């Protein structure tokens, strides 16, 4: 599904053409001004995995808040959805052409980005990985949720909710990003540890797309009419699972556990259609990416991993101030 070869080709073409055809980012920068922006402030380029989920808007808000506090210029971009590897590679290519002093990058496909990360290294531009991380030793740190631990916590609650028995399905957003593989593996580990008698079905991949994930959910339900629960590994996967259950007229018969939040998930949890979910702290994540980038620019030492935290939430605690502060809708 991932067009890695095409991504490399597009990246090479975009790099050769960037001097004359690259589109200016949202913040004011000047590609001829070296590592600084036109107003003399340090410039940080941040490239996310997408913009179709409210999660990324929350990360952007946090990054913008911290950039203002740190008095730096920042751009925040992402492809329209999390299947557009080539678009993300183009954005990274164009960002490199503008010579930022630091880059924040959440990779859709680490292999497709490998040559560009090497370019960043050769230019002495520090790379801060975030969210899914980057499968490379080039980023100097990663600001992210401990996705394995978070998904394992989701599995623990799933086990409790279904009485430690029955079949459980998984709809995962992808198998090329570390967030996808870590959440998949963490959930599998959790089921094995907390309810080993549960039959865990093979993970299915919906690209984080609600419509595709809904179709997958309906296919799972058709093949396994006695299924006890379904786990959705991100906002699109979880809402897709919810829609699939609704369209199959199985509401109330299947326990749904999700990841992330967003208005549709919050509404489903309040109504009881979804049992609960794991939420990250996207605003805090955005802040930590910029904070780490500023420290890197100053030459400060950073830890290899910056844990941005996670919480389980359900109908019982959704309005608790601590939980409400990290939900995004």
- Contact, 302 vs 295, CB < 8 A? yes
- In 3-state terms the chain splits into helix, strand, coil percentages (rounded to 5) of 45, 15, 40
Q: How far apart are CA 249 and CA 226, in angstroms?
A: 14
Q: How far is CA 93 from the centre of its chain?
A: 20
**How many whole angstroms separate alpha carbon 168 and alpha carbon 202?**
9
Residue 33 CB-density burial (10 A; 0-12 exposed, 13-18 middle, 19+ buried): middle
One pLDDT digit (tens) per residue for the chain, 329 residues: 433 334 434 344 343 433 333 333 333 333 333 344 557 899 999 999 988 778 899 999 999 999 999 999 999 999 998 889 999 999 999 999 999 999 999 999 888 999 999 999 999 999 999 987 788 899 999 999 999 999 999 999 999 999 999 999 999 999 988 889 999 999 999 999 999 999 999 999 999 999 999 999 999 999 999 999 999 999 999 999 999 999 999 999 999 999 999 899 999 999 999 999 999 999 999 999 999 999 999 999 999 999 999 999 999 999 999 999 899 87
* Cβ proximity of 297 and 42 under 8 Å: yes
Separation between Cα atoms, residue 105 and residue 4, nearest integer Å: 17
Rounded to whole angstroms, the Cα distance separating 130 from 138 reads 13
The SS3 assignment for 160 reads: helix
Joined together, the tokens standing for residue 326 give: 């990290």
The residues, any chain, with a CB within 8 Å of residue 160's CB and separated by 6 or more, are 194
Grouping H, G, I as helix, E, B as strand and the rest as coil, residue 249 is coil
Question: 284 with 311: CB under 8 angstroms?
Answer: no
In DSSP terms, which residues pair with 141 in a beta bridge? 128
**Residues with Cβ within 8 Å of residue 72, at least 6 apart in sequence:** 41, 42, 43, 44, 290, 293, 294
What pLDDT is stored for residue 36 in this prediction?
44
Q: Is 189 exposed, middle or buried (0-12, 13-18, 19+ CB in 10 A)?
A: middle
**How far is Cα 162 from Cα 78, in angstroms, rounded to an integer?**
37
pTM, rounded to two decimals: 0.73
- The pLDDT tens digits of the residues spanning 84-95 come to 999 999 999 999
Residue-wise pLDDT for 166-196, tens only, equals 999 999 999 988 889 999 999 999 999 999 9
């Amino acid at each position: 599904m991932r067009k890695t070869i095409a991504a490399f080709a597009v990246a090479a073409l975009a790099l050769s053409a960037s001097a004359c055809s690259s589109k200016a980012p949202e913040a004011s920068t000047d590609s001829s001004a070296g590592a600084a922006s036109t107003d003399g402030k340090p410039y940080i380029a941040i490239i996310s995995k997408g913009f179709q989920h409210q999660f990324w808007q929350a990360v952007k808000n946090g990054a913008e808040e911290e950039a203002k506090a740190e008095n730096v210029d920042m751009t925040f971009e992402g492809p329209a959805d999390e299947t557009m590897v080539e678009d993300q590679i183009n954005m990274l290519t164009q960002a490199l052409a503008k010579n930022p002093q630091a880059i924040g990058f959440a990779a859709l496909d680490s292999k497709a980005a490998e040559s560009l990360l090497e370019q960043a290294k050769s230019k002495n531009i520090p790379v801060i990985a975030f969210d899914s991380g980057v499968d490379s030793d080039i980023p100097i740190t990663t600001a992210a949720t401990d996705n394995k631990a978070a998904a394992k916590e989701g599995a623990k609650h799933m086990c409790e909710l279904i009485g430690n028995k029955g079949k459980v399905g998984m709809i995962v957003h992808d198998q090329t990003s570390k967030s996808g593989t870590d959440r998949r593996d963490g959930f599998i580990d959790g089921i094995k540890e907390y309810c080993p008698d549960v039959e865990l079905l093979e993970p299915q991949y919906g690209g984080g797309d609600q419509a595709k994930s809904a179709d997958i959910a309906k296919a799972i339900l058709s093949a396994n009419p006695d299924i006890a629960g379904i786990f959705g590994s991100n906002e699109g996967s979880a809402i897709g699972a919810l829609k699939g259950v609704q369209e199959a007229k199985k509401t109330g018969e299947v326990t749904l556990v999700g990841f992330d939040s967003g208005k549709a998930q919050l509404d489903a949890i309040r109504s009881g259609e979804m049992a609960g979910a794991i939420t990250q702290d996207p605003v805090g994540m955005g802040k930590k990416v910029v904070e780490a980038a500023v420290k890197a620019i100053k030459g400060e030492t950073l830890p290899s991993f910056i844990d941005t935290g996670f919480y389980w939430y359900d109908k019982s605690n959704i309005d608790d101030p601590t939980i409400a502060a990290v939900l995004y809708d």
